[in-house]
Amino acid sequence: MAQWRTLRSDDDAEFASEITVDCSSLAPQISWGTDPSQVIGIADPVPDGAPAALAYMGLTPGRALEDLPVDRVFIGSCTNARIEDLRVVAGILRGRHIAADVQALIVPGSSAVKRQAEAEGLDAVFAAAGVPWHESGCSMCAGANGDTAQRGQRVLATSNRNFENRQGPGVRTHLVSPATAAAAIVTGRITDVRKVA
């Protein structure tokens, strides 16, 4: 860590350009297709085009994904199960319980993250909400260790890939943030987390 901290720009460095992006009005994003690049705002209509992806996902153009029922929610992977992510999830799940028709699991991004989450009592929040807490590993990100869904099920996942059949044959995977995933756990539907938090 000390070495990494030395890898920074000089205080008087000049850059060719600086870009500031204001994302404060950006709606939560969700994938609609079978590729991580096929993403829209949670309340936006599904675009026309990519007929194979639309058919696989069981969607029609013009339909918003918000309020669509979900079968499973996977919070995990090395990309979106850091301690910061798990704290956000716990904040949304605290005092709430998993929706009756939803299956969910939370898999920490590493063993170190698991230990820290447990030291902070986050695992107890997940347990009180009725959401299983697993060991770190690939899990549903790549359909490992038997962690898959059933054909035709709609899954929200915080992993970084949603290719056809990745989480099981015929499984329809939408990529979302940990906060959006947590909102779906308690509502049973694709939900704008800003309406829950």
Full DSSP string of 128-154: HTT--B--SS-GGGTTGGG----TT-E
Look at residue 21 and tell me if it is in a domain. Answer: no
Look at residue 40 and tell me if it is in a domain. Answer: yes
Q: Enumerate the β-bridge partners of residue 155.
A: 72, 173
Compute the C-alpha angle 27/131/29, nearest 5°: 15
Look at residue 104 and tell me if it is in a domain. Answer: yes
Look at residue 4 and tell me if it is in a domain. Answer: no
The one-letter amino acid code at 36 reads P
Number of domains in the chain: 1
The pLDDT value given to residue 147: 87
Q: Which two tokens stand for residue 13?
A: 């460095």
Q: Residue 70, CB half-sphere, CA atoms under 13 Å: how many? A: 30
Q: Enumerate the β-bridge partners of residue 31.
A: 39
The pLDDT value given to residue 109: 94
The pLDDT value given to residue 142: 80
Q: Could you read off the pLDDT tens digit of each residue along the chain, which spans 197 residues?
A: 899 888 988 889 999 999 999 998 999 999 999 999 999 999 999 999 899 999 999 999 999 999 999 999 999 988 899 999 999 999 999 999 999 999 999 999 999 999 999 999 999 999 999 999 999 988 888 887 788 899 999 999 999 999 999 899 999 999 999 999 999 999 999 999 999 96
Look at residue 165 and tell me if it is in a domain. Answer: yes
- Rounded distance, CA 26 to CA 93, Å? 23
Look at residue 67 and tell me if it is in a domain. Answer: yes
The pLDDT value given to residue 79: 85
Q: At 39, which CATH number?
A: 3.30.499.10
- Rounded distance, CA 166 to CA 183, Å? 23
The pLDDT value given to residue 36: 93
pTM above threshold 0.85: yes
Look at residue 107 and tell me if it is in a domain. Answer: yes
Angle between helices 111-119 and 83-93 in degrees, nearest 10 = 40
Burial pattern 78-100, b for ≥16 Cβ within 10 A else e, equals bebbbbebbebbbebbeebebbe
Look at residue 53 and tell me if it is in a domain. Answer: yes
* Domain extent at residue 126: 28-195
The pLDDT value given to residue 77: 86
The pLDDT value given to residue 140: 83
The pLDDT value given to residue 42: 96
The pLDDT value given to residue 84: 97
Who's near 11: CB < 8 A, 6+ residues apart?
Answer: none
